[in-house]
A and B are shown apart, each in its own frame.
Chain A
């Protein structure tokens, strides 16, 4: 089984793309490769590139390892999230040189998929260990020194899930495991699908799923949006710092295939209690089959201009999986 942490459900060695999705991914891949020729690349583009090629051609046709080595390592061979040229896409953005947990995970994952042995991956395990903070979370404070109360919940849980995947059983001592259990438990129920998905994913890696928040089922109810699921519920939007309710009458949640897969993972963990979600996701899959590119971007209140991207390679991959599930 070949999977990626953003959606653990998908076995990329078996996933089939529809013709229109394959064409879309091919165009995006060509665009990315054109940019890479100019030295403009990010770790996330590499992951999307590897997965796209596996789906399109059954194997990697691009020298992703060479790209990582050439553009996404600093002078001390530290893994970077962005190449220097990619950093120029933002004007005078001096923070492009980042060793994030996601960058470490991306390098580790691509090298692992490329068949690089354990000795070539140890450096990433060391780095993750180095970035475990006294508060138990994993992040690089040199990239982002934001206090815990204002860090995004999904960032915290995603980084722990990625860090745990990199560390693997061998490096995960009983002491570390207990520390991660305590850290993951200490965060109250978030109400965000992604944050809860990554918490559950992390707890599964350390085999402690019984520590999942008791309210987790709520997220499957509150985050229903459009034809499927959104990462958050509009009603629960609160002030970042003070926790006070926000006016949301003009905000609209939009469905996302990625969020759909996060919901599925949680629903399967819940078993019987998650059955209605599984059914809803089958319907969502059928909807996507009929409307393959209906993965809308947000809108800022009444202004009909997409706020961020709608379709991305990851959305296409998640949608393909949901469509295949609907056919079963």
Chain B
């Protein structure tokens, strides 16, 4: 573990007199956050930070926090999977940050938990919640669980008017909606209310068991809960369908969200700009970020390090002038750099990719202990900074051509009407691909019309402009950019990513990762 920089909390608070101001551009939303803090120093040298208006908690924290590889990776992970807060009801341009983290993979849950406890050494607690669409319990695995819960027979659902004499506005809205599923909205709503307690008990138990398997020990104030949505509202497309989400809410730090977001943003900004300190000195690196970090000899790493051993196998590596040529068994040759520095950029991207990358999380950990197939690299974002950071980290070790093989634009159904109009402007209809319509957009005019938008949003893709393949109409969400890289780089890049995040705690990845 090396100390690569510091979060100078006390210095920052003194300088700004406790004022925290910031701008957040995520999901194509431009919002600001602001809060004022006061602080005192305890006899054992910690700061007790609270909101100037006394709302929220008093948070115990170090005046100077050391930034090592794990903590930098944690901020990358939080950037991908963490909550940025919710908009103020009366002013959507202002965000009120809350600190919670959405992840299910046991190694990542445990890692995030450790980092939160390290960052906030005072009395924090966690609420682990499992969210699910109640349609999950209507068929298949969920129905079986419900049956077991009732002792072998699910009691028949009474009619809605017997269960709810008065409907709330959300119920009324639900009943008005139209869905291409069997049964009426009344029946579905009745199912939800009649089995709600049972479904919640089942899911809470599922969550508790998952946490046990992850090796997460719940402390006195920690607990597991479950939340259910009305059938088909959360994303299940049919009875028995799942739309599970796993959240980790951090308690005991209410009101600290703005300061936490500020840390996250200034870490990201300084890494992006490769600058030694942030504008208000909250973040100070030991040197220019690109000059920091362990310099890993790539050949040595893959021939000797425990992280370079995948399921008992190691690659062949030969020298080729200024670069290396590497080849894993049953894979293709790829050109590699001799050295790679595990600098703040690489650590941050390691966390970010573990959160946001398209590779199944379980594979990233199980690849050390058992053979895996079908490895692929994909990254989706609506922000240039994230895309550029990932591309830069790839190019630290691979040739540009291997770092990006193609890119596309994914557009959620909310923006299909806009796509239709773009087609009409060219006199063509929007033709979708695939049976459910989420394949490659067939109408080239629409795909080509959006290429300029993507390159303006993500100028880091300009060198790869000719690798743009298509628009992909997809389930939900705003328009975002998705790129993939050569699959032959996965067995080189992923071990290094996992090494950057976990090598401080895990020395034998083949044995020590959970479920590995």
Contacts and interface: CB of A to CB of B under 8 A. Distances in A.
B221 interface: no
Interface string B317-347: 0000000000000000000000000000000
Contact of B429 (A152, A244, A249): A152
A147 B437 contact: yes
B476 interface: yes
Interface residues of A, number: 68
B414 A248 contact: yes
Contacts of B382: 300
Given A152-B416, A248-B414, A239 B476 contact: yes
Interface stretch (A59-67, A96-104, A274-282): A96-104
Nearest to A152: B430
B425 A240 contact: no
Nearest to B449: A308
Contacts of A139: 431
A232 interface: yes
B436 A150 contact: yes
B219 interface: no
Interface string B464-484: 001111100101101100000
A242 B395 CA distance: 42
A82 B332 CA distance: 35
A52 interface: no
B417 A158 contact: no
A202 to B, nearest CB: 13
A172 B420 CA distance: 29
Interface string A119-140: 0000000000000000000010
Contacts, number: 203
Given A232-B417, A305-B453, A308-B449, A6 B30 contact: no
Interface string A238-259: 0111111111111100001011
Contact of B421 (A86, A231, A250): A231
A303 B27 CA distance: 10
A27 interface: no
B418 A240 contact: no
A186 interface: no
B92 interface: yes
Interface of B: 25, 27-30, 92, 173, 177-180, 232-233, 237, 382, 406, 413-422, 424-437, 439-440, 442, 444-450, 452-453, 456-457, 466-470, 473, 475-476, 478-479
Interface of A: 6, 42, 44, 47-48, 81-82, 86-87, 89-93, 95-96, 98, 100, 102, 139, 143-147, 149-152, 154-155, 158-159, 192, 194, 230-232, 237, 239-251, 256, 258-259, 298, 300-303, 305-309, 312, 314-315
Closest A-B pairs by Cβ, 8 of them: A240-B413, A155-B429, A150-B437, A301-B28, A308-B422, A302-B30, A232-B417, A146-B437
